[in-house]
Amino acid sequence: MSAIETTYRDAIRQALLDAMEEDENVILIGEEVGLYGGAYGVTKGLIDLYSANRVIDAPISEAGIVGTAVGAAMTGLRPVAELMYVDFIGLVMDQLANQAAKSRYMFGGQIAVPMVLRTQGGTGRSAAAQHSQSLEAWMLHTPGLRLAMPATVNDAYHLLRDALRQPDPVVFIEHKGLYTMKGTLDPETPDAGWGTPVIRRDGKDLTIVTYSRMLHEAMRAADTMAEAGIDAEVIDLRCLNPLDEAAIFASVQRTGRAMIVTEAATAGSAASEIAARIGESCFDWLEEPVVRIGGEDIPIPVSPSLEKGSIPSAQLIAEAGLWLMRKETPAWA
């Protein structure tokens, strides 16, 4: 299959389709994944290709969906469970954090839980406080869980294919604001290996570390900073666990300045963890403190204008970059 232009949503669907074609043990389970085609249309038509035995419409019970997936994985299948919103993750934390994440360790490697939990998070659809959160830090804090958050069409495909090859449970968080984004999918050529960050833009003055939809805001911010003579390097993490830190540290050692950008609230966030690692490993090279840019510490508003203002924008990121480079002092400083 040659490279094609497609959407983020269809790249995920293609990854599921290819995986199911290659391995009869790959099954899908979730609320409305079959006849309806998934809450965001990712699994549309798959039940017609693979029957209700492999594309399973589950009752409205998140605990039941994930618990079934855990048991299926332990008996040799490779289930892909769909959780309609990451906001519902609290309903499945016993199954996910206490069972799926720990079983391979507790059984000495005799039993694995090779499942993928597909879910989506983030803002952009005025879905309000209970359907718009970024809760990846909960997953990052649980040993035994892998965590992928693709920002591009190609990564949406390849990271999901990689996730379905792992011996451990993978939480795969798709951003609801990216489903209709178009881009190039090359099924033969991943952007990088599993757990390896990608430098999306080279630079020498400042390192911006980000992931998921914030990558696109960071890239726009880098364009704005370039107009002011600042050459920003932008790193897309792609996976938060596993995470090869070498590229991050090498970049910061070259630029001497680092900014971590996330849509999630900053307190206890992935941005805080990455900033701490940079501080520990790159202290001697840092010209300025590591800056974290994240969402406001508030429930996500339903108002489109307030929702938009509750998360970082390209303008905010650019202003922070100008401040780090001592070019100007923004109003919030």
Q: 330 in a domain, yes or no?
A: no
No. of helices (H) and no. of strands (E), the chain: 12, 14
Contact 175, 120 (CB under 8 A): yes
Q: 280 in a domain, yes or no?
A: yes
Indicate if the pLDDT at residue 18 is higher than 90. Answer: yes
| Beta-ladder partners of 175 | 121
> Pick the catalytic residue: 31, 131, 158, 307?
131
- Per-residue pLDDT of 271-312, as tens digits, reads 999 999 999 999 999 999 999 999 999 999 999 999 999 999
Structural domain span for residue 154: 4-185
Residue that terminates a domain, selected from 126, 154, 185: 185
Q: Say if residue 249 is in the same domain as residue 178.
A: no
Q: 332 in a domain, yes or no?
A: no
Residue that terminates a domain, selected from 161, 185, 209: 185
Indicate if the pLDDT at residue 333 is higher than 80. Answer: no
Q: 311 in a domain, yes or no?
A: yes
Average pLDDT rounded to a whole number, residues 187-205: 97
Residue 33 sits in a domain of what CATH number? 3.40.50.970
Q: Please, which pLDDT band fits residue 327 given cuts at 50, 70 and 90?
A: confident
Residues with Cβ within 8 Å of 73's Cβ and at least 6 positions away in sequence, in order, are: 79, 100, 112, 113, 114, 115, 169
Using CB atoms within 10 A of its CB, is residue 114 exposed (0-12), middle (13-18) or buried (19+)? buried
Average pLDDT rounded to a whole number, residues 113-133: 95
Cα 300 to Cα 322: distance, rounded to the nearest angstrom: 28
- Per-residue pLDDT of 163-189, as tens digits, reads 999 999 999 999 999 999 999 999 999
- Per-residue pLDDT of 200-231, as tens digits, reads 999 999 999 999 999 999 999 999 999 999 99
Q: Say if residue 180 is in the same domain as residue 52.
A: yes
pLDDT at 4 (0 to 100)? 95
Question: Total domain count for the chain?
Answer: 2
> Pick the catalytic residue: 21, 22, 32, 62?
62
Q: Please, which pLDDT band fits residue 326 given cuts at 50, 70 and 90?
A: confident
Q: 108 in a domain, yes or no?
A: yes
Q: Say if residue 44 is in the same domain as residue 119.
A: yes
78-83 sheet: strands from edge to edge: 55-57, 26-30, 78-83, 116-121, 170-175, 146-148, 239-241
Q: Is 288 a catalytic residue?
A: no
Q: 333 in a domain, yes or no?
A: no
Q: Say if residue 75 is in the same domain as residue 181.
A: yes
pLDDT at 43 (0 to 100)? 97
Indicate if the pLDDT at residue 328 is higher than 80. Answer: no
Q: Say if residue 41 is in the same domain as residue 146.
A: yes
Q: 17 in a domain, yes or no?
A: yes
- Per-residue pLDDT of 20-79, as tens digits, reads 999 999 999 999 999 999 999 999 999 999 999 999 999 999 999 999 999 999 999 999
Q: Say if residue 156 is in the same domain as residue 220.
A: no
pLDDT at 332 (0 to 100)? 57
Using CB atoms within 10 A of its CB, is residue 105 exposed (0-12), middle (13-18) or buried (19+)? exposed
The pTM (predicted TM-score) of the whole model is: 0.96
Q: Say if residue 23 is in the same domain as residue 170.
A: yes
Q: Is 158 a catalytic residue?
A: no
Cα 316 to Cα 217: distance, rounded to the nearest angstrom: 9
Q: 328 in a domain, yes or no?
A: no
